[in-house]
């Protein structure tokens, strides 16, 4: 009798624990979250972009770089190689142009993810940094943007044991950058388990040819990373903590935590408006809809802006939302000249007027 009672109590306790765990996971993934549509005027989908536009970055002259064709375990993907496009936002035709890749570069396995641009102040050379996952591994490619404006020159592939599951990067020199790792484990099965448990085990790594080190840790899937216009602060999207972290960059390239800003959404990449310093983020409304893709109940899109992030009262604004009828799985948002460009993990890209 006593034995049965003990077993019942044990089962009850275990159920509570499992139930609590499931509830915690549901909260982290925002599985019950729905938001009403909030559209913007004059939105057009970009020509030629059908298989994702996971990351976008815009130069001060209005030229956007777009990475397409990401294959990410657990998310819908298409059997097309990755490509890099440019889009001149000053041209009203809004026509993305595919950049010609060098012959010595393996295009078949190109699987581009986060991108970042570094402009050399001495000669205005534009370097494009791309997180690449050939066969789901992680490496960083550094390209030079061709003088002809239509091609990329491959300079270097960077691999390092600390750069084991890179999601995004921010370039801080011609050969140096900060990178986020979105997983702790490298093994495929453990990675899947990790997506469910979402322990705060992921980090940010600093890379330069002379030094590679972990500079910040404790993230529930570190995602987008970017820098303030004065280059003093680094911003990291802590996607499954529904927050963005502000860190101060030190002389020795280490990062000291400043604050965390709550967003209430699953924000992915971060772009920074060079004029205002505002952060623009492409966010996921609900991770369940993203991972358990159902075309009849698609994942939606959400764009969030943060103003005055360094002040005591940052202003967090939801600028755009869609239930997936127009745009599925937004991962990035960037602004130029009154226009908002929104990219997605595996769907199209949208360009809207802000007013
Ligand atoms: C669920 O989350 C709460 C608060 O976030 C935490 O204290 C608790 O340990 C978690 N439970 C499980 C089973 O992970
Ligand atoms: C996670 O979010 C909470 C609430 O916004 C915040 O207090 C905490 O600092 C965040 N943790 C990290 C590691 O960013």
Handedness of CA 334, 54, 144, 121 (dihedral sign): positive
Number of separate domains in the chain: 1
Catalytic residue among 51, 113, 183, 220: 113
H or E segment and range at residue 171: strand 166-171
Residue 220 belongs to some domain of the structure: yes
Integer Cα distance of 276 and 274 in angstroms = 6
Handedness of CA 75, 81, 87, 92 (dihedral sign): negative
Residue 23 belongs to some domain of the structure: no
Is 54's pLDDT higher than 60? yes
Mean pLDDT of 258-274: 98
Q: DSSP assignment, residue 131?
A: E
Instruction: Give the number of the ligand closest to the Cα of residue 24.
Output: 1
Mean pLDDT of 331-348: 98
The closest residue, in CA terms, to atom 1 on ligand 2 is 241
Mean pLDDT of 130-135: 97
Residue 90 belongs to some domain of the structure: yes
Cβ of 238 below 6 Å from ligand 2: yes
Has 113 been annotated as catalytic? yes
Residue 7 belongs to some domain of the structure: no
Instruction: Give the number of the ligand closest to the Cα of residue 218.
Output: 2
Is 1's pLDDT higher than 60? no
- Which ligand 1 atom minimizes the distance to the CA of 23? 1
Integer Cα distance of 213 and 350 in angstroms = 37
Instruction: Give the number of the ligand closest to the Cα of residue 18.
Output: 1
Rounded distance from Cα 285 to ligand 1 centre (Å)? 22
Cβ of 20 below 6 Å from ligand 1: yes
Nearest in space to 62 (alpha carbons), one of 240, 273, 253: 273
The closest residue, in CA terms, to atom 3 on ligand 1 is 24
The closest residue, in CA terms, to atom 14 on ligand 1 is 21
pLDDT given for residue 161 in this prediction: 97
Domain CATH number, residue 125:
2.120.10.30
Is 99's pLDDT higher than 80? yes
Residue 177 belongs to some domain of the structure: yes
The closest residue, in CA terms, to atom 4 on ligand 2 is 262
* Model pLDDT for residues 184-219, shown as the tens digit of each residue: 988 878 888 887 778 899 999 999 999 999 999 999
State the residue range of the domain holding 292: 31-353
Integer Cα distance of 282 and 265 in angstroms = 10
Cβ of 91 below 6 Å from ligand 1: no
Integer Cα distance of 213 and 263 in angstroms = 29
Residue 19 belongs to some domain of the structure: no
The pTM of the whole model exceeds 0.75: yes
Cβ of 21 below 6 Å from ligand 1: yes
Write the burial class of residue 2 (CB in 10 Å: 0-12 exposed, 13-18 middle, 19+ buried).
Answer: exposed
H or E segment and range at residue 15: helix 2-29
């Amino acid at each position: 009798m006593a034995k049965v009672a003990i077993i019942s109590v044990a089962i009850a306790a275990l159920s509570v624990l499992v139930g609590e765990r499931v509830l915690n996971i549901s909260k982290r993934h925002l599985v019950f979250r729905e938001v009403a549509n909030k559209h913007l005027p004059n939105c057009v989908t970009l020509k030629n972009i059908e298989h994702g536009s996971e990351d976008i970055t815009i130069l001060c002259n209005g030229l956007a770089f777009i990475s397409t064709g990401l294959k990410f375990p657990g998310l819908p993907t298409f059997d097309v190689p990755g490509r890099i496009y440019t889009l001149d936002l000053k041209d009203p035709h809004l026509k993305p142009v595919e950049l010609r890749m060098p012959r010595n570069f393996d295009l078949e396995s190109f699987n581009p993810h986060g991108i970042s641009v570094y402009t050399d102040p001495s000669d205005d050379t534009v370097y494009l940094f791309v997180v690449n996952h050939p066969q789901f591994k992680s490496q960083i490619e550094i390209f030079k943007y061709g003088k002809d404006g239509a091609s990329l020159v491959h300079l270097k592939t960077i691999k390092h044991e600390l750069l084991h599951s890179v999601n995004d990067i921010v370039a801080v020199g011609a050969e140096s950058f900060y990178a986020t790792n979105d997983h702790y484990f490298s093994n495929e099965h453990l990675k899947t388990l990790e997506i469910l448990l979402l322990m705060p085990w992921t980090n940010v790594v600093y890379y330069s040819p002379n030094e590679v080190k972990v500079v910040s840790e404790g993230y529930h899937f570190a995602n987008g990373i970017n820098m303030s216009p004065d280059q003093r602060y680094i911003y990291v999207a802590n996607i499954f903590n529904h927050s963005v972290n502000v860190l101060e960059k030190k002389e020795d390239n280490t990062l000291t935590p400043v604050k965390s800003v709550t967003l209430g959404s699953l924000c992915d990449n971060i772009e920074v408006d060079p004029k205002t310093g505002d952060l623009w983020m492409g966010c996921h409304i609900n991770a369940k809809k993203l991972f358990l893709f159902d075309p009849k109940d698609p994942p939606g899109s959400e764009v969030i802006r943060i103003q005055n992030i360094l002040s005591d009262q940052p202003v967090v604004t939801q600028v755009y939302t869609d239930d997936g009828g127009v745009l599925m799985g937004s991962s990035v948002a960037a602004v130029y000249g009154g226009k908002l460009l929104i990219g997605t993990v595996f769907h199209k890209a949208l360009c809207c007027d802000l007013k």
